[in-house]
Chains A and B, each alone.
Chain A
Amino acid sequence: MVYQFIKKEFKQEWRNRYALNGILLYLVCTIFICYLSFNVRTNQLTPITWNALFWIIMLFASVNAVAKSFMGEKSERQLYYYTIISPQALIIARVLYNAFLLLLMSFVGFVFYSLILGNPVQDQTLFLINLFLASIGFSSTLTLISAIASKAGSNQTLMAILGFPILLPILLMVIKVSKNAMDGLEWSASADELVTLLAINLIVGAVSYLLFPYLWRT
């Protein structure tokens, strides 16, 4: 059931590509605006600025990308899902689908960002692993937040203020690990952070899974 639902989401996304393209264009525009505002040539940003800027862009783009997962939907369609799929299956499918979407988005974002603002990262593998964990964490947090915001009247501002404080622990960990990756430190230096990140992801994912059925019922 989960598999079929994910397949349906992909098909739906593929049929009207404007949503996906919209997110990617949003990302590219933001990065380009940053590039122009800083007025820099490549590799002129200090590593700390580079890092912080990248994750702030990712944060905002992620909120925008996931926001539509419940908020863009008509209540009739939600009612239809309600009759054919269990809430647990629905939340798992949505989290996985959003994780994939964010993964794609952050990967494209990373490539484009490196292209125009330079890539000072020394340990690419660690950076990509970090990007992967961050996408999963963002997705499991924001999917539930999006469901909550959609029940509370589909307000994008609400989505942001509910989501940001909860995302902050993940974001702090991620920024730290990616700084380590940029400096090319040993993996053991980031081990604590990676484990914490994984643990936060698990907690947030498990809590979303447990809470969503209650939210769905309203």
Chain B
Amino acid sequence: MRQYWWKIVTIILLLYTFLGGLLLEVPRLNILNETIRALYFHVPMWFGMIILLTVSVVYSIRYLKSNDLTLDAKAIEFANVGVVFGIFGILTGMFWAQYTWGAWWSGDPKQNASAIGLLIYFAYFILRGSIENEEQRARISAIYNIFAFAALIPLLFILPRLTDSLHPGNGGNPGFNAYDLDSKLRLVFYPAVIAWTMLGVWIATIRIRLRNLEYKTL
């Protein structure tokens, strides 16, 4: 638990993401122009969110099998950080949309789907808050977490593909693969995904430790 080499790696990768993401050469394209750099900040938020929420669901499933309350603490904290990533994903996406689509919110299927996804997790937090008994809270919210995740999958991966969307990678619009003629974008994009996700894991581990400390002092 006291290994910290990966935290140093996270910091280095994040520094690289910011420096490389803001300074390196990117493909010159109409409309997108410099906003293509959102790829290093907006897209990793969604990757990070999906990964963190998946981790949270895995902990929920393990909790149901073992009834170990520390696993529940992990599930809630990973969900917390995942939702924070989701909020940042929406905000960065809106910021990007303002410059490329011309409006903060244009009711695009991807925007709507992500908003619904956040609603699902807010409901999860409210459910947690409404139950007093700890064991029950852990069990019921684990069940809802799994149920919500199962409902979220079709929302995020299937629905936007069925409808027309302005979002890159949907509705006949090219994703970044098509812009990326010489793999320059990938050089920063993949490290950025790893860096942001690791930052999320870092935040979650700190919060889990905090939660465990509070639990012990009670």
Q: How many Å lie between the Cα of A207 and that of B146 in the bound state?
A: 8
Task: List residues 35-51 of chain A with CB under 8 A from any CB of chain B.
Answer: none
Q: How many Å lie between the Cα of A203 and that of B153 in the bound state?
A: 10
Task: List residues 143-191 of chain A with CB under 8 A from any CB of chain B.
Answer: 144-145, 148, 151-153, 155, 158, 161-162, 164-166, 168-169, 172-173
The minimal Cβ–Cβ distance linking B152 to chain A, given in whole angstroms, is 9
A192 within 8 A of B: yes
- The interface residues of chain A lying within 8 Å CB-to-CB of B126 are 158, 161
Instruction: Decide if the interface of chain B is mainly helix, strand, loop or mixed.
Output: helix
Q: How many Å lie between the Cα of A218 and that of B131 in the bound state?
A: 13
Number of A-B contacts defined by CB within 8 Å: 84
A71 within 8 A of B: no
B147, A207: Cβ atoms under 8 Å?
yes
B139, A172: Cβ atoms under 8 Å?
no
When each residue 113-154 of chain B gets 1 if its CB lies under 8 Å from chain A and 0 otherwise, what string results?
Answer: 000110110010011001100011001101110111011011
Task: List residues 139-185 of chain B with CB under 8 A from any CB of chain A.
Answer: 139-140, 142-144, 146-148, 150-151, 153-155, 158-159, 162
Chain A: interface residue total (CB-CB under 8 A): 32
A111 within 8 A of B: no
**Known contacts A196-B154, A218-B139; is A153 also within 8 Å of B130 by CB?**
yes
A131 within 8 A of B: no
Q: How many Å lie between the Cα of A164 and that of B118 in the bound state?
A: 12
B120, A165: Cβ atoms under 8 Å?
yes
B64 within 8 A of A: yes
A144, B147: Cβ atoms under 8 Å?
yes
- The interface residues of chain B lying within 8 Å CB-to-CB of A172 are 159
Q: Which of B123, B142, B159 contacts A169 (CB 8 A)?
A: B159
B162, A193: Cβ atoms under 8 Å?
yes
- The interface residues of chain B lying within 8 Å CB-to-CB of A19 are none
B123, A218: Cβ atoms under 8 Å?
no
Q: Which of B140, B150, B155 contacts A215 (CB 8 A)?
A: B140
The minimal Cβ–Cβ distance linking A64 to chain B, given in whole angstroms, is 18
- The chain A residue sitting closest to B118, CB to CB, is A165
- The interface residues of chain A lying within 8 Å CB-to-CB of B142 are 214
- The interface residues of chain B lying within 8 Å CB-to-CB of A165 are 116-117, 119-120, 123, 148, 151
B143, A211: Cβ atoms under 8 Å?
yes
Q: How many Å lie between the Cα of A211 and that of B64 in the bound state?
A: 9
Q: How many Å lie between the Cα of A55 and that of B164 in the bound state?
A: 22
A169, B154: Cβ atoms under 8 Å?
yes
The minimal Cβ–Cβ distance linking A179 to chain B, given in whole angstroms, is 12
A214, B154: Cβ atoms under 8 Å?
no
The minimal Cβ–Cβ distance linking B27 to chain A, given in whole angstroms, is 33
**Known contacts A161-B126, A214-B64; is A196 also within 8 Å of B162 by CB?**
yes
- The interface residues of chain A lying within 8 Å CB-to-CB of B148 are 165-166
- The interface residues of chain B lying within 8 Å CB-to-CB of A20 are none
A121 within 8 A of B: no
Q: Which of B127, B136, B154, B155 contacts A199 (CB 8 A)?
A: B154
Q: Which of A164, A168, A211 contacts B146 (CB 8 A)?
A: A211
| Seed contacts A158-B127, A166-B151, A207-B147; 8 additional CB < 8 Å A-B pairs | A141-B151, A161-B123, A161-B126, A168-B116, A168-B155, A169-B155, A214-B64, A214-B143
Question: Which residue numbers of A lie inside 8 Å of B, CB to CB?
Answer: 141, 144-145, 148, 151-153, 155, 158, 161-162, 164-166, 168-169, 172-173, 192-193, 196, 199-200, 203-204, 207-208, 211, 214-215, 217-218
Closest 9 CB pairs of A and B: A165-B120, A165-B119, A207-B150, A166-B151, A169-B155, A161-B123, A211-B143, A168-B116, A214-B64
Question: Which residue numbers of B lie inside 8 Å of A, CB to CB?
Answer: 64, 116-117, 119-120, 123, 126-127, 130-131, 135-136, 139-140, 142-144, 146-148, 150-151, 153-155, 158-159, 162
A-B CB contact pairs (8 Å), 8 listed: A151-B140, A158-B130, A162-B127, A165-B123, A169-B159, A200-B154, A214-B139, A214-B142
